[in-house]
Amino acid sequence: MNRRNILWSAVSAFGAAFAASRARAATEQPSAGKLKVVYHLSDAEKVNFVLGNIQNHIDGVGGPEHVTIALVIHGPVLKSFQSEKANPDISKRVGEFHKDGVELAACGNTMKAQNVTLQDLLPGFVSAEKGGVVRLAELQSQGYLYLRP
């Protein structure tokens, strides 16, 4: 075997080993195998779509024990999650997500602007006191993947 073939074989082997290690790293999930995802919702017309995506996500990975999901809401969509105004389907879904461990965060700035308290929202919500966009950035810095359907 000539030197060029030996060098080419060594480079090819190294490249294959490197590619395999990157592929393995890409499929390994943080937090003991759990993917972390944050959904961003501000558009009132997308409420059912986003809630459907969250449910599909949970179902698609085999249940809530296989994924960590957060939902951060702000702006006009906050009205959709107020106890008095929420339709029964939204109330039911939010209740199920809360039981499944989905973090439900409402923007503290939006709550102040709309004069809404946590007691006015569906059960399970927490206040993102520093703001919804700040909470989104915090979660992303903790390794959450950002989705804005």
- Is residue 40 domain-shared with residue 23, that is, in the same domain? no
The closest alpha carbon to 71, from 84, 80, 61, belongs to 80
- Which CATH number belongs to the domain containing residue 40 in this structure? 3.40.1260.10
Q: Residue 5: is its pLDDT beyond 90? A: no
Are 39 and 93 in a shared domain?
yes
Per-residue tokens: 116: 């809404």
**Running DSSP on this structure, what letter comes out for residue 124?**
T
Structural domain for 67, as ranges: 34-147
Do 38 and 72 share a domain, yes or no?
yes
- Residue 60 pLDDT > 80: yes
Domain identity same for 1 and 67: no
For residues 73 and 127, membership in a common domain is answered with yes
Q: In the predicted model, is pLDDT for residue 4 greater than 60?
A: no
Specify whether 16 is located in the same domain as 40: no
Mind listing the pLDDT tens digit for each residue in 69-117? 999 999 999 999 999 988 999 999 999 999 999 999 999 999 999 999 9
Asked if residue 41 and residue 24 are part of one domain, the reply reads no
Residue 9 pLDDT: 55
Asked if residue 71 and residue 4 are part of one domain, the reply reads no
Mean pLDDT (the chain, rounded)? 86
pLDDT band at 39, cuts 50/70/90? very high
Give CA–CA dist 30/28, Å, rounded.
7
pLDDT value at 128 more than 50? yes
Query: What's the structural domain count of the chain?
Result: 2
